[in-house]
Chains A and B, each alone.
Chain A
Amino acid sequence: MFDPGAYSWMAEKVLVATWETIYMVLISTSLSYIVGLPLGVVLVTTADRHILENRGVNRVLGYIVNAVRSVPFIIFLILIIPLTRIIVGTSIGTAASIVPLTLAAIPFVARLVETSLKEIKWELVEAALSMGANAWQVISKVLLPEAMPSLSLGVAITAINLVGYSAMAGIVGGGGLGTLAYYYGHQRYENDIMWVTVIVLVLLVQLVQMGGDALAAKISNRRR
């Protein structure tokens, strides 16, 4: 049962797949923040009575964000295959997975960022305005720094979600732990691989959550 050759073969497969998953999650988390963070800021600041009040922009963005979020990821994945092909040239592999992962995460990130920024007391914004701060200064010197502990928890939540989503992408050939579990575990009934994959995924999620918690706590502690 415990054949060393099979063991090292499996270890290598799992290691490669784990790295692919980490890679997909890292890249898609980063890319989704590059777009989602400004989007979240816009959602907050264009709201009524806020510093960049703009009802039209706020409503339209809100609708788009909700629309994308309401499509189940597995459907979204298939729906945007043509777009993925245009961008990456293929719809298979880790690079191809990054496209749907990122696009699906953007509206999610935007809402998370929005929630974090809304927690900041309006009085702090007013204090900055009373000193002559412009909108950009309010955003960069008040809203984002004040929300940093909550924003870093949001990054952890996003990354954890993307670990799960990346496994789904893996089932349609996206690479990473999802592909591994699907091909060897499901299609070839190699239950060992299935379980190892599950354990690695659990560990990965734990690690990300611990990292996020530690970062948030570190920032909060520094302010205490």
Chain B
Amino acid sequence: MIKINNLTKIYHTPTREIVALEKVDLEVEKGEIFGIIGLSGAGKSTLVRCINMLEKPTEGSVIIDGTDITGLTSRELLSARQKIGMIFQHFNLLSSRTVFGNVAFPLEIAGLTGGKIKDRVGELLDLVGLSDRAGSHPSQLSGGQKQRVGIARALANRPKILLSDEATSALDPQTTGSILELLKDINRRFNLTILMIAHDMNVIKRACDRVAVIDRSRIVEVGKVIDIFSNPQTAVSRNFIGSVIDKEVPEHLLQCSNRQRPGTITRLIGVSFIGDSTGKPLISSMIKKFDVDANILYGNIDHIKDIPFGHLVLELTGEPGQVAGALDYLCGFGLEVEAIDSV
């Protein structure tokens, strides 16, 4: 669907050159929600803006459905852009137009008139749940409603791709949730490819199938969100994940461990669950099978898109053989088990 090859973007300012993207390669499949995460200034916006050529790449190509858009004439580019929707952090709605007028804007650009515009705007406002606000001005809407208008506007010409540049960053967590659900729904219904920038891993976790981690102008990691969560390869990724899933056990919990019986050992282990296994009573069956005490110090179950994902910190106490057996038992279910610290 989108194939980015060797993309480099250098900004020339009067004082210096800024390398915003360096030799970026990326492939986005049709119908997926692809996340791009990185710290501020990493080059995320530059990357998506090269996809609709709001920025002209210094080097490299961006191929959409087999067409290299860096080679289009300016006229061809205008019609290509009609098939690439974009939504923004600050919505960028026109204050001179009503909600209706804002959604009609791209249709006017595409050369539609009167009745056709009216019908299509009606459908779109229905889709985003704002049929009753057609006559309102943007300033009369909440942030979430403004972004819904932004989404309706971006979808007006039935694009193949939707680019989202921090579309939820200006919204509160609850509104962010409802906007992400709307985008997921649109993605499923129209098999729309969505490229979603975020600096918040919660957003990626909630909506994306795959993610690219971008750090200082380079892509450092690409993969399924669930794989990156369970097995991050770079420090940047680990930091982003750490901001969402806190595996660090608070100090005071480590100190209240049980007094040991003679001949037993106590091990502190972290257990990560992904997918189905969260539904099974593995811990209780482990305790029944082995002669160990399991003290849950910390636990958390979360969802990555719609797949459950959990993390537990257990204190296992028992004879060394029994503890080792219990650990093997858990590993046998495909859980990721790591020793945090031997107490």
Contact = CB atoms under 8 A, between A and B. Distances in A.
Contacts of B79: 132
Given A132-B109, A148-B96, A126 B78 contact: no
Interface string A207-223: 00000000000000011
Nearest to A224: B139
Contacts of A202: none
Contacts of B163: 130
Interface string A113-149: 0000000010110111111111001000110011010
Contacts of A126: 54, 92
Among A130, A222, A223, the most chain B Cβ lie within 10 Å of the Cβ of A130
B90 interface: yes
B137 interface: yes
B82 A131 contact: yes
Contact of A145 (B94, B108, B110, B157): B94
A24 B105 CA distance: 39
Contacts of B52: 130
A142 B85 CA distance: 18
Nearest to A147: B96
Contact of A130 (B54, B95, B108, B137): B54
A132 B88 contact: no
Contacts of B167: none
B86 interface: yes
A131 B54 contact: no
Q: Interface of chain B, helix or strand or loop or mixed?
A: mixed
Contacts of A224: 137, 139-140
Report the interface size class on chain A: 20 to 34
A124 B153 CA distance: 13
A151 to B, nearest CB: 11
A132 B75 CA distance: 9
Nearest to B86: A130
A131 B97 contact: no
Interface string A166-190: 0000000000000000000000000
B143 interface: no
Contact of A137 (B85, B86, B109): B109
B88 A123 contact: yes
Contact of A123 (B90, B95, B96, B110): B90
B106 to A, nearest CB: 4
Contact of A124 (B82, B94, B139): B94
Q: Interface of chain A, helix or strand or loop or mixed?
A: helix
A127 B90 CA distance: 11
Nearest to B95: A223
B81 interface: yes
B294 interface: no
A126 B137 CA distance: 20
Contacts of A142: 94
B81 A223 contact: no
Contacts of A129: 54, 81
Contacts of B88: 123, 127
Contacts of A123: 88, 90, 92
A124 B93 CA distance: 7
Contact of A132 (B78, B90, B139): B78
Interface string B84-115: 11101010101111000000011011100000
A24 to B, nearest CB: 32
A223 B78 CA distance: 29
A128 B105 contact: yes
A61 to B, nearest CB: 22
A131 B105 contact: yes
B105 A130 contact: no
Contacts of A222: 137
A194 B97 CA distance: 48
A131 B92 contact: no
Contacts of A148: 96
7 contacts: A124-B94, A130-B86, A132-B78, A132-B80, A134-B78, A222-B137, A224-B140
**Pairs of residues from A and B, 10 with the lowest C-beta to C-beta distance, nearest first:** A145-B96, A132-B81, A127-B92, A132-B82, A131-B106, A130-B86, A132-B78, A123-B92, A223-B95, A223-B137
Given A132-B157, A141-B94, 10 more contacts: A128-B109, A130-B86, A132-B80, A132-B82, A133-B78, A134-B78, A145-B96, A146-B96, A222-B137, A223-B95
